Amino acid sequence: MKTILIVDDEPRTRQGIRKTLESWSCGRYRIETASSGVEALSWLQHNDANLLVTDIRMPEVGGLELVEKLNAMAHPPVVIVISGHPEFDYAQKALQLGVISYLLKPLDKLKLVQAVELAMKREEELNRIERMEKLFDPKLLETLQEDKTYGVQVQEALRFVDAHLSEQVSLRAVADQLHMNASYFSVLFKEQTGLTFSEYLSRRRVQRAKELLVNTRYSIAEIAEQVGYQTAKYFVKVFRSIEAVSPGQYRQSNLNPEETIQ
Protein backbone atom coordinates (compact mmCIF):
# COMPACT_ATOMS: atom_id res chain seq x y z
CA MET A 1 0.00 0.00 0.00
CA LYS A 2 1.38 3.42 -0.94
CA THR A 3 1.94 5.92 1.83
CA ILE A 4 1.22 9.65 2.10
CA LEU A 5 3.06 11.51 4.87
CA ILE A 6 1.55 14.81 6.10
CA VAL A 7 3.92 17.17 7.92
CA ASP A 8 2.56 20.28 9.65
CA ASP A 9 3.17 21.78 13.09
CA GLU A 10 -0.42 23.04 13.31
CA PRO A 11 -2.58 20.17 14.71
CA ARG A 12 -5.83 21.47 13.20
CA THR A 13 -4.36 21.71 9.68
CA ARG A 14 -2.56 18.38 10.01
CA GLN A 15 -5.66 16.49 11.08
CA GLY A 16 -7.84 18.33 8.56
CA ILE A 17 -5.60 17.19 5.69
CA ARG A 18 -5.51 13.68 7.09
CA LYS A 19 -9.31 13.39 7.33
CA THR A 20 -9.76 14.81 3.83
CA LEU A 21 -7.28 12.37 2.30
CA GLU A 22 -8.62 9.39 4.28
CA SER A 23 -12.11 10.17 3.01
CA TRP A 24 -10.84 10.55 -0.56
CA SER A 25 -8.62 7.47 -0.57
CA CYS A 26 -11.19 5.03 0.88
CA GLY A 27 -8.39 2.88 2.24
CA ARG A 28 -6.32 2.84 -0.96
CA TYR A 29 -3.47 4.72 0.73
CA ARG A 30 -1.84 4.64 4.12
CA ILE A 31 -2.03 8.16 5.62
CA GLU A 32 0.62 9.10 8.21
CA THR A 33 1.35 12.38 10.00
CA ALA A 34 4.28 14.15 11.62
CA SER A 35 4.17 17.33 13.68
CA SER A 36 7.57 18.64 12.56
CA GLY A 37 10.32 18.26 9.98
CA VAL A 38 12.49 16.59 12.61
CA GLU A 39 9.77 14.02 13.38
CA ALA A 40 9.26 13.43 9.65
CA LEU A 41 12.97 12.77 9.08
CA SER A 42 13.03 10.36 12.02
CA TRP A 43 9.97 8.53 10.66
CA LEU A 44 11.46 8.33 7.17
CA GLN A 45 14.60 6.63 8.48
CA HIS A 46 12.51 3.52 9.10
CA ASN A 47 9.60 3.96 6.67
CA ASP A 48 8.98 4.85 3.03
CA ALA A 49 6.62 7.52 1.75
CA ASN A 50 5.41 7.89 -1.83
CA LEU A 51 4.04 11.39 -1.30
CA LEU A 52 5.01 14.09 1.17
CA VAL A 53 2.56 16.92 1.96
CA THR A 54 4.45 19.48 4.03
CA ASP A 55 4.04 22.98 5.43
CA ILE A 56 6.86 25.39 4.60
CA ARG A 57 7.20 27.26 7.88
CA MET A 58 8.00 24.93 10.79
CA PRO A 59 10.43 25.15 13.73
CA GLU A 60 13.93 23.62 13.40
CA VAL A 61 13.49 21.98 9.99
CA GLY A 62 11.24 23.86 7.56
CA GLY A 63 9.43 22.29 4.65
CA LEU A 64 11.92 23.25 1.95
CA GLU A 65 14.87 22.13 4.06
CA LEU A 66 13.05 18.85 4.58
CA VAL A 67 12.58 18.47 0.80
CA GLU A 68 16.28 19.19 0.20
CA LYS A 69 17.27 16.46 2.65
CA LEU A 70 14.84 13.99 1.08
CA ASN A 71 16.17 14.66 -2.42
CA ALA A 72 19.42 13.02 -1.32
CA MET A 73 17.54 9.75 -0.76
CA ALA A 74 17.71 6.96 -3.31
CA HIS A 75 13.92 7.03 -3.75
CA PRO A 76 12.58 10.39 -2.53
CA PRO A 77 8.81 10.90 -2.37
CA VAL A 78 7.06 13.36 -4.63
CA VAL A 79 6.15 16.53 -2.74
CA ILE A 80 3.28 18.95 -2.29
CA VAL A 81 4.10 22.11 -0.32
CA ILE A 82 1.51 24.12 1.61
CA SER A 83 1.98 27.64 2.93
CA GLY A 84 0.05 30.33 4.73
CA HIS A 85 1.92 33.02 2.82
CA PRO A 86 1.97 33.63 -0.97
CA GLU A 87 5.72 34.34 -1.01
CA PHE A 88 7.35 34.25 -4.43
CA ASP A 89 10.81 33.22 -3.16
CA TYR A 90 9.34 30.18 -1.40
CA ALA A 91 7.35 29.17 -4.46
CA GLN A 92 10.35 29.61 -6.74
CA LYS A 93 12.60 27.50 -4.49
CA ALA A 94 9.89 24.83 -4.23
CA LEU A 95 9.73 24.55 -8.01
CA GLN A 96 13.52 24.33 -8.23
CA LEU A 97 13.40 21.40 -5.79
CA GLY A 98 10.92 19.56 -8.00
CA VAL A 99 7.83 20.11 -5.85
CA ILE A 100 4.67 19.01 -7.70
CA SER A 101 2.23 21.59 -6.28
CA TYR A 102 2.32 24.70 -4.09
CA LEU A 103 -0.96 25.22 -2.20
CA LEU A 104 -1.97 28.18 -0.09
CA LYS A 105 -3.83 28.08 3.22
CA PRO A 106 -6.69 27.99 3.96
CA LEU A 107 -6.67 24.82 1.89
CA ASP A 108 -9.45 24.18 -0.59
CA LYS A 109 -10.33 20.50 -0.15
CA LEU A 110 -11.02 19.96 -3.85
CA LYS A 111 -7.73 21.57 -4.88
CA LEU A 112 -5.90 19.47 -2.29
CA VAL A 113 -7.38 16.25 -3.63
CA GLN A 114 -6.63 17.27 -7.22
CA ALA A 115 -3.03 18.06 -6.28
CA VAL A 116 -2.66 14.68 -4.55
CA GLU A 117 -4.11 12.82 -7.53
CA LEU A 118 -1.67 14.62 -9.84
CA ALA A 119 1.23 13.89 -7.50
CA MET A 120 0.41 10.17 -7.29
CA LYS A 121 0.23 9.95 -11.09
CA ARG A 122 3.62 11.65 -11.25
CA GLU A 123 5.02 9.24 -8.66
CA GLU A 124 3.85 6.27 -10.70
CA GLU A 125 5.38 7.75 -13.85
CA LEU A 126 8.71 8.23 -12.08
CA ASN A 127 8.59 4.63 -10.87
CA ARG A 128 7.89 3.44 -14.40
CA ILE A 129 10.83 5.44 -15.75
CA GLU A 130 13.09 4.07 -13.02
CA ARG A 131 12.05 0.51 -13.85
CA MET A 132 12.72 1.12 -17.54
CA GLU A 133 16.15 2.63 -16.85
CA LYS A 134 17.12 -0.56 -15.03
CA LEU A 135 16.51 -2.48 -18.23
CA PHE A 136 19.07 -0.59 -20.27
CA ASP A 137 22.57 -1.95 -20.83
CA PRO A 138 24.86 1.10 -20.32
CA LYS A 139 27.32 -0.02 -23.01
CA LEU A 140 24.53 -0.64 -25.48
CA LEU A 141 22.84 2.65 -24.65
CA GLU A 142 26.12 4.51 -25.17
CA THR A 143 26.49 2.85 -28.56
CA LEU A 144 22.94 3.63 -29.67
CA GLN A 145 23.20 7.25 -28.56
CA GLU A 146 26.00 7.71 -31.09
CA ASP A 147 23.80 6.59 -33.97
CA LYS A 148 23.89 9.92 -35.81
CA THR A 149 27.69 9.81 -36.09
CA TYR A 150 27.67 6.40 -37.78
CA GLY A 151 28.20 5.86 -41.45
CA VAL A 152 25.27 4.73 -43.55
CA GLN A 153 26.49 1.13 -43.62
CA VAL A 154 26.75 0.78 -39.84
CA GLN A 155 23.36 2.44 -39.33
CA GLU A 156 21.86 -0.02 -41.79
CA ALA A 157 23.57 -2.90 -39.98
CA LEU A 158 22.07 -1.81 -36.65
CA ARG A 159 18.60 -1.63 -38.18
CA PHE A 160 19.07 -5.05 -39.78
CA VAL A 161 20.09 -6.62 -36.46
CA ASP A 162 17.08 -5.11 -34.66
CA ALA A 163 14.71 -6.39 -37.33
CA HIS A 164 16.13 -9.93 -37.24
CA LEU A 165 16.90 -10.53 -33.55
CA SER A 166 14.84 -13.72 -33.46
CA GLU A 167 16.76 -15.17 -36.42
CA GLN A 168 20.22 -16.66 -36.80
CA VAL A 169 22.09 -13.44 -37.54
CA SER A 170 25.82 -13.56 -38.29
CA LEU A 171 28.46 -11.01 -39.17
CA ARG A 172 28.85 -12.56 -42.62
CA ALA A 173 25.09 -12.47 -43.26
CA VAL A 174 24.94 -8.77 -42.40
CA ALA A 175 28.03 -8.03 -44.49
CA ASP A 176 26.45 -9.86 -47.44
CA GLN A 177 23.25 -7.85 -46.92
CA LEU A 178 25.34 -4.67 -47.16
CA HIS A 179 27.39 -6.02 -50.11
CA MET A 180 30.57 -5.64 -48.08
CA ASN A 181 33.62 -7.77 -47.38
CA ALA A 182 33.06 -9.43 -43.99
CA SER A 183 36.52 -8.60 -42.64
CA TYR A 184 36.24 -4.95 -43.65
CA PHE A 185 32.74 -4.72 -42.18
CA SER A 186 33.99 -6.22 -38.90
CA VAL A 187 36.71 -3.58 -38.56
CA LEU A 188 34.35 -0.74 -39.59
CA PHE A 189 31.69 -1.81 -37.09
CA LYS A 190 34.18 -1.96 -34.19
CA GLU A 191 35.72 1.40 -35.11
CA GLN A 192 32.38 3.20 -35.15
CA THR A 193 30.49 1.52 -32.29
CA GLY A 194 33.30 0.55 -29.94
CA LEU A 195 31.89 -3.00 -29.79
CA THR A 196 32.62 -6.06 -31.87
CA PHE A 197 29.68 -7.21 -33.96
CA SER A 198 29.36 -10.34 -31.82
CA GLU A 199 29.33 -8.33 -28.57
CA TYR A 200 26.75 -5.89 -29.92
CA LEU A 201 24.51 -8.72 -31.10
CA SER A 202 24.70 -10.49 -27.72
CA ARG A 203 24.00 -7.30 -25.78
CA ARG A 204 21.13 -6.34 -28.07
CA ARG A 205 19.58 -9.79 -27.66
CA VAL A 206 19.96 -9.68 -23.88
CA GLN A 207 18.47 -6.17 -23.87
CA ARG A 208 15.40 -7.43 -25.68
CA ALA A 209 15.25 -10.44 -23.36
CA LYS A 210 15.25 -8.15 -20.30
CA GLU A 211 12.27 -6.26 -21.69
CA LEU A 212 10.39 -9.53 -22.25
CA LEU A 213 11.32 -10.84 -18.79
CA VAL A 214 9.89 -7.77 -17.08
CA ASN A 215 6.91 -7.04 -19.31
CA THR A 216 5.63 -10.50 -20.27
CA ARG A 217 5.07 -13.90 -18.70
CA TYR A 218 6.80 -15.86 -21.45
CA SER A 219 8.90 -18.76 -20.19
CA ILE A 220 12.71 -18.56 -20.31
CA ALA A 221 12.73 -21.00 -23.23
CA GLU A 222 10.19 -18.92 -25.17
CA ILE A 223 12.19 -15.76 -24.60
CA ALA A 224 15.40 -17.50 -25.64
CA GLU A 225 13.74 -18.43 -28.94
CA GLN A 226 12.34 -14.93 -29.47
CA VAL A 227 15.78 -13.35 -29.13
CA GLY A 228 17.53 -15.76 -31.47
CA TYR A 229 18.96 -18.53 -29.28
CA GLN A 230 18.40 -22.15 -30.29
CA THR A 231 18.67 -23.45 -26.73
CA ALA A 232 17.60 -21.97 -23.40
CA LYS A 233 20.81 -23.28 -21.82
CA TYR A 234 23.04 -21.20 -24.08
CA PHE A 235 20.76 -18.18 -23.68
CA VAL A 236 21.07 -18.42 -19.88
CA LYS A 237 24.86 -18.64 -20.21
CA VAL A 238 25.07 -15.50 -22.38
CA PHE A 239 22.58 -13.63 -20.20
CA ARG A 240 24.52 -14.44 -17.04
CA SER A 241 27.83 -13.39 -18.62
CA ILE A 242 26.41 -9.90 -19.30
CA GLU A 243 24.06 -9.33 -16.34
CA ALA A 244 25.82 -11.48 -13.69
CA VAL A 245 22.47 -13.10 -12.80
CA SER A 246 20.27 -15.68 -14.49
CA PRO A 247 17.19 -14.61 -16.49
CA GLY A 248 14.96 -16.02 -13.74
CA GLN A 249 16.76 -14.07 -11.04
CA TYR A 250 16.61 -10.91 -13.14
CA ARG A 251 12.86 -11.31 -13.65
CA GLN A 252 12.24 -11.85 -9.95
CA SER A 253 14.29 -8.84 -8.84
CA ASN A 254 12.62 -6.49 -11.33
CA LEU A 255 8.98 -7.36 -10.89
CA ASN A 256 6.73 -4.40 -10.15
CA PRO A 257 5.58 -4.91 -6.52
CA GLU A 258 2.13 -3.58 -7.43
CA GLU A 259 1.70 -6.41 -9.91
CA THR A 260 2.52 -9.20 -7.47
CA ILE A 261 0.90 -10.70 -4.38
CA GLN A 262 3.27 -10.86 -1.44
Work out the pLDDT band at 262, boundaries 50, 70, 90. very low
What pLDDT is stored for residue 259 in this prediction?
46
**What confidence category does residue 2 fall into, taking pLDDT thresholds of 50, 70 and 90?**
very high
| Tens of pLDDT, residues 52-87 | 998 888 888 777 788 888 887 878 899 998 988 777
For residue 148, what pLDDT band results from cuts at 50, 70 and 90?
low
Could you list the residue range(s) of the whole structural domain that residue 59 is in?
Answer: 3-133
φ and ψ at residue 250, rounded to 5 degrees: -65, -45
153, 121: one domain: no
Domain end, chosen from 118, 133, 148, is at: 133
Task: Tell me the per-residue pLDDT of 120-141, one tens digit each, with 9 for 90 and over.
Answer: 998 988 887 777 777 788 787 7
Last residue of a domain, one of 103, 133, 163: 133
Show which of 133, 162, 184 is a domain's final residue.
133
Amino acid at position 241, single letter: S
Position 260 scores a pLDDT of 38
